[in-house]
Amino acid sequence: MPTFSIYIDKSYERRDKKYAVSIRVTQNRKHAYLKTDYYVVPQRLNKSFEVKDKTLLKLLLEKIEDCEDIIVRGLGNDVSNYSAKDIVEFIKKKQNEVSCIDFIAFAKKYVAKLFEAGREKRAKHIQTTINALVDFSGQELNIVKVTSKFLEKFEEFLRSERTIVRVNQFGREVTTKRKPLTDTGVHDYMADIRAVFNEAIDFYNDDELGDPVIKHYPFREFEVVKPNPPKKRNIYLENIRKIMNLENGLRRQELARDVFMLSFFLVGMNTVDMFNVPYSSRKNGRITYQRSKTKDRREIMQRYQ
């Protein structure tokens, strides 16, 4: 099994007086080096030129753990047949696989598949969430950046008043202001992000091979806020009587009264279903119909049957 350690080249100092930090891989007494994104100032090093900053040290040790995990899962017992240089190249390849995943691009493809499957309502809902994510992070978002801290900042963004730009039906950009979301709104947006992230894991990871491309799961640390409890919609008998006996000569209000009372007597039947239900479905005082609200789900079920 190769060994991993933190390495800082004393002979190479940048103009800003910082040193590059690398991970040294040792296999059969030979070394190879894996560059990191970290640089360190002399004040964060001890006399032996070792990192003494606890925060940076923790990040580097976590990176070493990731490297070890990649080797164990990807090479297993065959690692003894690889040189230190081969091991570094293997780690780079695996890291590049996940770094090439654009979360927003994947989400847009997922939305397109929902539209193709006839799940229009679900697709539009997720599309709204992705639009907000683009407003926050830009058109591209590496999936490795979707962490619990990123989600916390995104939630702060959703809870703030924000200005958005959208293209209307005439192809013109329209700027509007959005009010801060409530707990219910934040819950719905975050649930959509979680759903897309789960889809990405199912698409890229292979449980049988045991070598996942996407190794992190931000929703273990980030807790999605619970939605506000729905308001009670009970209507009292005296209010029903007031509505039923409304006579004010205003045609539109009286039409609204009639539609409401019809829905009430039909145990909450939706207006769209009243409009679409064919006359032939009425038989012996009973109405048989299929709800428009569940149309998308019925079509999906029929395709799988």
In this predicted model, what pLDDT tens digit does every residue of 168-202 receive, in sequence order?
777 788 888 889 999 999 999 999 999 999 999 98
Q: What share of the chain is helix, strand, coil (3-state, %, to 5)?
A: 55, 15, 30
Average pLDDT, whole number, for the chain? 84
DSSP classification of residue 201: H
Residues 6+ apart with CB under 8 A from 228: 182, 183, 184
Supply angle C-alpha 298, 302, 305, rounded to 5: 135
Rounded CA-CA distance 59/104 in Å is 27
Report the pLDDT averaged over residues 153-182.
Answer: 87
Q: Kindly report the CA angle at 293 between 198 and 235, in degrees rounded to 5?
A: 115
Whether the model clears a pTM of 0.75, i.e. scores above it, the answer is no
User: From CA 254, how far away is CA 248, in angstroms rounded?
Assistant: 8
Question: What's the pLDDT tens digit per position in 21-58?
Answer: 999 999 988 999 988 888 888 888 888 888 888 888 88
Structure tokens at 291: 């709800």
Eight-state DSSP code of residue 165? E
As a whole number of angstroms, the distance between CA 207 and CA 216 comes to 14
Say if CB 287 and CB 281 are below 8 A apart: yes
Q: Please compute the mean of the pLDDT values over residues 226-232 and round it to a whole number.
A: 80
Determine the Cα–Cα distance for residues 296 and 114; give it in Å rounded to an integer. Answer: 10
pLDDT at position 223: 92
Q: What is the pLDDT of residue 301?
A: 43
pLDDT in tens, 78-124: 888 889 999 998 888 777 666 678 999 999 999 999 999 888 989 99
Range with lowest mean pLDDT among 40-44, 204-208, 242-246, 251-255: 204-208
How far apart are alpha carbons 12 and 35 in whole angstroms? 14
Nearest-5° Cα angle at 239, 238 to 245 = 90
Q: Which of 26, 24, 21, 20 is nearest to 2 (CA)?
A: 26
DSSP element (H, E) containing 199: helix 183-204
Q: What are phi and psi of 103, to 5 degrees?
A: -60, -40
